[in-house]
Amino acid sequence: MPGKIFYRERMKVKEGTQTPRFRIVAVSGVDLKVYADHIRKKELQQIAKATKAELVALERDKNKK
């Protein structure tokens, strides 16, 4: 069974900025240590490919005020 990497988009991301937009929230079934606070989508995909893990995007609450 492949592992899973759960990630979500940062809350305070401004459109057009060049800062990383994603944060790893949890990892299941993969021995992985992450040292970055925020990470780019391409970097997430490379990590998932190297560890043979599946990426799972967590949904944000649509009712946020």
Cα pseudo-dihedral 42, 44, 49, 55, rounded to 10: -120
pLDDT for the residue 14: 66
- pTM of the predicted protein model: 0.79
Would you state the structure tokens that stand for residue 46, as one six-digit string?
């490379």
More confident position, 14 or 8: 8
pLDDT band at residue 65, thresholds of 50, 70 and 90? low
pLDDT for the residue 5: 95
The answer, yes or no, to whether residue 9 has pLDDT greater than 70, is: yes
The answer, yes or no, to whether residue 15 has pLDDT greater than 80, is: no
The pLDDT tens digits for 16-34 are 676 778 999 999 999 899 9
